[in-house]
Amino acid sequence: MRITELFKKKTVFSFEVFPPKNDSPVDVIYNTLEELKNLSPDFISVTFSAGGSGNGHLACDVASKIKEYGIIPMIHLPCINYTKSEIDSTLAEIDARGIENILALRGDVNPDIPPKTDFSHASDLVTYLRSKGNYDIAGACYPEVHPDAANAVEDIKNLKIKVESGAEHLISQLFFDNSSFYDFREKATIAGINVPIEAGIMPVVNKKQIERMVTTCGASLPKKFVRIMQKYGDNPDALRDAGIAYAVDQIVDLAANGVDGIHLYTMNKPYVAKRISEAVSGIVGAD
C-alpha cells in the first residue's frame, strides 16, 4: 500500500528502526521487530547506510521482514555517496521485494568519503525515482532549518523544489519545541507546500543521546526540556520515564493541533515505543 493514501484516512502513526552495524549481531533488529509488530504502527521506515557500501542489503532484508508482518515498510534511500547505477541496483532489489515506499534523502556528508556527483540534493533523487518507477516517495524536512541552508527562506524554497519534483509527503527531523513545528508548517503552507507532514518525535532516554542529537541536527532545547535534563540527567531510569512523558506530551499537543502524523524515532527500543504507543493509542493511529 502507498503510504500517501493513509493520510486521507487518519492521523498516521509510524516508527523508524535501523539495521545493526556490520560488526553487530543481526538478531537484535529482528527481535526488536518482533516486539514492535504488536504495536501495529501504520508503517515502519528502515534507515540505509549513507556511506556508499554499508548495510543497504540488510536494510532491504529488514524491510522485507516488516512486510511479512503485514506492516507497510518504507526504505530510506540516501544519494550523496551513490551513483545512478548503484541506485539502480538498489531499486532492482527493492522492486524484487515488492517495496514501493521510499524516503528520498541526500544523506549525511562524510568527510572521509568523497561524495559522488550524480546526485547533489534529495530533490535530484526524487526526480530520478519518478523516472524509474511508480514509487510512493517521501522527503525529509527540518522545522528548525536544514543545517546546510543559509536561512529559513532558502530552506523552504529548497523544500518546495523537492515537493514539486515529486515528494508526496514529508517526515520532519526531530524537535523538542512544538512551536518550532507549527511555525515551520505555517511557512510551508504559505509557500504552497500542501503535502502531508509527519512530525518526527524522538523520546530522549539517556544524556549522551540528547548531546549527540543536538550536535548533529541542531535542535533547540526549550527550558522545560533543559530542566528535565538537569534534574534527571544522572538518573537513567528517571530520565527514561521523563523522556517518555515529554514525548507523549508533545504528541498529544501535536494531535490537538491537527498534525498529519507522528513518526516515532524508536532508536530500536521496543519498551519505549510500547509505553508511548499505549499512552497515545486513543489519539493517533486509530481509524
Question: Mean pLDDT by 10-residue block, N- to C-terminus, for the chain (287 residues)?
Answer: 95 95 83 96 90 71 96 97 95 96 93 89 98 97 93 97 98 96 98 98 86 76 90 92 96 97 96 97 78
In this prediction, residue 212 carries a pLDDT of: 76
For the chain, what is the HEC assignment?
CCHHHHCCCCCEEEEEECCCCCCCCCHHHHHHHHHHHHHCCCEEEECCCCCCCCCHHHHHHHHHHHHHCCCEEEEEEECCCCCHHHHHHHHHHHHHCCCCEEEEECCCCCCCCCCCCCCCCHHHHHHHHHHHCCCEEEEEECCCCCCCCCCHHHHHHHHHHHHHHCCCEEEEEECCCHHHHHHHHHHHHHCCCCCCEEEEECCCCCHHHHHHHHHHHCCCCCHHHHHHHHHHCCCHHHHHHHHHHHHHHHHHHHHHCCCCEEEEECCCCHHHHHHHHHHHCCCCCCC
Buried b (16+ CB within 10 A) or exposed e, 129-142: beeeeebbbbbbbb
- The pLDDT of residue 51: 54
Neighbour count for residue 104 (Cβ, 10 Å): 28
Contact 137, 104 (CB under 8 A): yes
What sign does the CA torsion over 141, 168, 94, 13 have? positive
The reported pLDDT for the residue numbered 52 is: 47
16 is a catalytic site residue: yes
Active-site residue, selected from the candidate residues 16, 100, 144, 198:
16
- The C-alpha torsion from 26 through 27 and 33 to 35, rounded to 10°, is -150
Predicted pLDDT at 145: 93
pLDDT at 67: 97
How far apart, in whole angstroms, are the C-alpha atoms of residue 162 and residue 137? 10
